[in-house]
Structure 1
Amino acid sequence: MLRCDSQNSLDESSQKQSNQNDKKERPIYSNSRHTVKAFEVMLTMRKQKLLCDVTLVAGNLEVPAHKMVLAACSPYFFAMFTSFEESKRDRILLKEFDSQALALLVEYIYSSEINVTEENVQILLPAANLLQLTDVRDACCDFLQTQLHPTNCLGIRAFADLHSCSDLLNRSESYIERHFQQVVECEEFLALPASQVLKLVSSDRLVIPSEETVFECVMAWVFHDENRRHHLAELIEHVRLPLLSYTYLVQRVSMEPLLNADLRCKNFLIEALAYQLLKAKGDKEIPFEIRNTHPRKPSGLPKIMLVIGGQAPKAIRSVECYDFKEERWYRVAEMPSRRCRAGVSVLDGQVYAVGGFNGTLRVRSVDRYDAADDKWVASQSMRARRSTVGVAELNGCIYAVGGFDGTSGLNSAEVYDPRTKEWTMIPPMPTRRSSVGVGVLNGLLYAVGGYDGASRQCLSSVIRYNPETQIWTRVADMSTCRSGAGIGVLDGILYAVGGHDGPDVRKSVEAYDPKTNTWSPVADMAVCRRNAGVVSLNNMLYVVGGDNGSTSLGSVEYYNPKVNVWTMLPTQMSIGRSYAGVAIIDRPK
């Protein structure tokens, strides 16, 4: 009897425990579409003016809406409808709003969609700021970042500063510093106030070929308006005159009448000349303090080197990165598809892999890498299929030159403008060039060597393209034929590295001086290389991977022009890569 009661108690307890477990394990029902459907209905109701309890007025436009919806999505409207007199009104005049911006933003509040364009971004951003719709404001800032160009970056910077968009302001300032030489040639620069010019020329991070660029831009700004002459001394004080050559100081700076008429400017010139004379005498220590003798440092961020895709021995997707500060290699996000024999260029801090071969076809496609997010996204495709293509950035655009389309070598070339997001054909080269090397020097694009499929010859010839005249001009030939040579630029000199002439893979290197239009040999690399990537950093020229005619190489070596010596990087890539793309970018924070 006791046992039966005990058994019943156990059964009841077990049943209760089971019921409790079932109750705990039963999932809570959730409908992910509920909120979306609710807003879809509210949007329909607003368009039909059903249950609307407020009308917003801007200019001649009236926008019906629901206070609850507006307050739920905008802190501005929440405060208006809970704490101010407007909470009692059903018609509210918004004097500070652009009518188009108000209509777009109210529509966004209901639909969560908005199309930011070049035509509406300047009215949307301040309106979104006022309504505290931070996601729309950020979308406007992201859009403006993609529109940065030497002709508009100063205006975008001022716009970002006016509306306290710190990320856009920082990106704009960084862009201006990186493209300073092109920016100061635009009308926006000449319209700047003195305070902004002073801030620019004082920057330690300007990317310039020489200090002459800064001096000339100051003089151009002063000459643009004679009322600016009283600003000359305060601007010249921040030009690093001691870093100019003695010849330039004597023949250009000292001959400028405005400088000679200003006592402070004359003292700056005397100081610079004294520094040059002491340096010429070989004095290691300057006996008195001379200002502005330190070169500008374009970027305070550590650098990384990306090695993209390549042939190992087939086309691959992998991308690896060398961190110069930590002196180590590591993998980053793979490309969306396999790619070798592509051209690579950096534009506004992002890396573009252009054309190439995917293991089956020569492609027109372009992928773009954002290091901050460690991801690749598709960009606008070229007009022509191009593998073994030469690619370089010039004046804020990407040029793709020559290459092989799967049938023949190409003499065509095209340019990508990030503002229009379109590729446009430019005048063709006189000669077909696949496996061509491309470099930019003094605002001109050089196409070096390559293979002429028509005559079946490797080339020693070199041509350069002037984007202003749109004319190709032949310059001095290299001393030897080079197809698949790596091209790099360092201190105003263009280097042709390795390559091959038919069966012979070369380790020789030669350098082109545009001032004399001559090629000169420099020290040979440690190993023979063709189809290697070449980049420059900190006055060194890096040559990455390639192949020796039979094996893909994982080694990297760098050239120091001061001592004319090549040195191997201690650590190699994880795999050998030929036909890989190489780029230097800032290491993400």
Structure 2
Amino acid sequence: MDETSCLDVLALAEAHSLEDLRRRAEDYVLAHFQRVAEGEKFRDLPCVQLQRLLERDALNADSELDVFRAVVNWVEDDKDQRLCHLSRLMQGVRFRLMRPEELLEVQDCKLLVRSSGGKTALEIVNNLLHGDKRTSDCKPRTPNQVLVLVGGDCVNENFERREPNLCLWFAHRFMRGEGLIRTIEWRPLARLPEPPRFRHCVCVLNNTLYILGGRKYYGALDILKTALRFDPAQGRWECLPDMSSPRDYFAAVCHRGKVFVLGGNSDDMNCLDSVECYTPDDNTWRSTPNLCKLSHPLDVALCGHAAAVLNGEMFVSGGCDSRLRCYPCLWLYDPVRGCSKRAPMTVGAGRAGHVMLVAGHRLVVAGGLQPMLAGFGDQLQCESYDPVHDSWSSFPFLPRPHLSPAAVTLDGQLYVLGGSSADSARDTSWVHRYDPQAKCWDKLGAMPRPYADLAACALQLPVSLKS
């Protein structure tokens, strides 16, 4: 297949119900969408197939504006017959991913202005241009996302002291050298507003980065309750209202258009069981139970735990309490009903300082530490959880220790970055990636510095930054 033949192959597969060929052809069209949309045969694509392509996260284009232009060109090629499909097709265009100058081009599009089918799209665009903060679901297109590092700390270049990090880095390229040598080309994305942060959390909602809590330095009074929001399309920072409690070593997830922070350390003496919820619609935090509006606390006051959202449900794993007891537990958390226990992790007597990632329809826990006869040691064993059968199964070992690392899922692959070692107390700069097809962890190279207590996410960046 190539850009000139893939749509013919897709039509052939559809006509003869060749499911595997249809999937491969559709994947090819998605991966090369921009070039395919410029070809003659794109004009003959049936509406139902175009709509299916627009709905896919895997659609690859330099920007969402290019997706919009492709739809407009398709409609205008046979306006009399296709104008009736305009409203339905525009529902597949992710206007929230556009920069203001791109939204202005959409606003001036004659096809939308002069047709009733474009009315809803224009309303969305006008609302976005006037600062609409409503949190309708809008995922970035997966191939357009990059891996971003946020904050952390490391030993300075003179090995004199530890220094918190103010930089956001993104992985521009993953490169393979001779033999097994691999490197990552990192580029600076932005600079954190003061103060620096480590032991913080990040999460992404509608391609907007939320940076929460953590600490600015190493004293008990340096734990933060402040929160920031970063819009990568405009390169703009915004300060949010403070959380009610300072938190580090906590967990955070985005769930149903809201940001949840769960537990954490508040003063180097006491862990928290409280859960707070930030709602972008009204720019407020809420905590303590109160009907359906506010969040029920955790069963146990925890720090060093992990959280993830799978199939629309929040899960919390492991962590330590204020007496440094390490838990093997897994909880299903509901803001109204609180925690309900699921099957505990099976590897070791507990796990903390780890990460939990979504891999397909399962959860994977990796890294962190475990209780030993005397103190704590590195945990290299990983395991995966099946929510349907409420059971755990083995997973390939991590090649190196990763205590309090960053982690992210990108293009169906799991990334674990940095952190330290409980056994050696040394920081690590290595980035490991798990490939589900090869079923093994690969070392991809190093971070700019050996950061510990950092965070990471996947963001869609403007083309000007990636190029």
- Tell me, yes or no, if structure 1 residue 388 matches structure 2 residue 249: yes
State the shift of 1:529 in Å: 1.1
Partner Cα separation in structure 1 for residue 261 and residue 192 of structure 2? 20
Residue by residue, what CA displacement relative to the aligned partner does 1:323-364 show, whole Å, maximum 9, x if unpaired? 257852111222111110001100121111110011041110
- Residue 376 of structure 1 aligns to which amino acid in structure 2? W
2: CA distance, partners of 1:504 / 1:300: 36
Q: Which secondary structure state, in structure 1, belongs to the residue aligned with residue 414 of structure 2?
A: strand
Aligned position for 1:433: 302
**1:444 and 1:575, CA in 2 relative to 1: closer, same or farther beyond 3 A?**
same
> If each structure's helix is expressed as a fraction of its own residues, which one has the higher value?
1
The change in CA–CA distance for 1:512 and 1:168 in structure 2 (over 3 A counts) is farther
Distance (Å, rounded) in 2 between the aligned partners of 1:583 and 1:318: 14
In the aligned structure 2, how far is the partner of 1:167 from the partner of 1:419?
13
The 5 Å alignment of 1:439-458 reads 439-453=308-322, 455-458=323-326
Change in CA separation of 1:490 and 1:173 when aligned onto 2, cut-off 3 Å: farther
1:315 aligns with 2:188: no
**1:335 & 1:373 partners in 2: Cα distance?**
15
Q: Distance in 2 between matches of 1:384 and 1:174?
A: 25
Which residue is equivalent to 1:556? 431
CA contact (8 A) 1:335 1:367 kept: no
- For residues 556 and 506 of structure 1, the distance between their equivalents in structure 2, rounded to whole angstroms, comes to 17
Residue segments in structure 1 that go unaligned for 5+ positions in a row: 1-137, 143-156, 179-297
Deviation at 1:168, TM superposition (A): 5.4
Q: Find the counterpart in structure 1 of residue 110 from structure 2.
A: none
Equivalent position amino acid for 1:306 in 2: V
Contact 1:386 1:405 in 2 (8 A): yes
Instruction: Write the mapping of 1:42-121 to structure 2, written as runs, cut at 5 A.
Output: none
TM-aligned CA distance change 1:300 to 1:340, over 3 Å: closer
Identity of aligned residues (%): 23
Contact 2:315 2:330 in 1 (8 A): yes
Structure 2, unpaired ranges of 5+? 1-99, 105-117, 155-161, 176-183, 288-294
The equivalences for 1:123-162 within 5 A come to: 159-162=120-123
Counterpart of 1:341, as a letter, is: R
3-state SS of the aligned residue for 1:410?
A: strand
Name the CA shift for 1:325/1:557 in 2 (closer, same or farther; >3 Å).
closer
- The alpha-carbon deviation at position 375 of structure 1 amounts to 3.9
CA contact 2:296–2:338 (8 Å) conserved in 1: yes
Q: Distance in 1 between matches of 2:124 and 2:441?
A: 50
Q: 486, 489, 500: which is aligned to 2:355?
A: 486
User: Which has the larger share of strand?
Assistant: 2
The answer to whether the aligner puts 1:410 opposite 2:272 as a matched pair is yes
- Check 1:476–1:370 CA distance in 2 against 1; reply closer, same or farther (3 A cut): same
TM-score between the two structures when normalised by the length of structure 2: 0.63
Corresponding residue SS for 2:244 = coil
List aligned pairs for 1:113-512, cutoff 5 A.
Answer: 159-162=120-123, 165=126, 176-178=137-139, 299=141, 302-312=144-154, 313-324=162-173, 328-336=185-193, 337-359=195-217, 360=219, 361-406=222-267, 407-425=269-287, 426-453=295-322, 455-467=323-335, 469-479=336-346, 480=348, 481-501=350-370, 502-512=375-385
Change (3 A) 1:310 1:158: farther
- RMSD value over aligned CA atoms? 2.8
Question: Secondary structure, in 3 states, of the residue corresponding to 1:511?
Answer: strand
Q: Per-residue deviation at 1:160?
A: 4.7
In structure 2, give the amino acid aligned to 1:318.
Answer: C
The 1:564/1:421 distance shift into structure 2, 3 A limit, reads same
Q: Is the 2:134–2:281 Cα contact (8 Å) retained in structure 1?
A: no
**1:305·1:585 contact (CA, 8 Å) conserved in 2?**
yes
For this pair of structures, how many residues does the alignment match? 314
Q: CA deviation at 1:432?
A: 1.1
For residues 125 and 433 of structure 2, the distance between their equivalents in structure 1, rounded to whole angstroms, comes to: 43
Change (3 A) 1:166 1:344: closer
**Secondary structure of 1:161's aligned partner:** helix
For the residues of structure 1 that align with 2:153 and 2:209, how far apart are their CA atoms?
A: 19
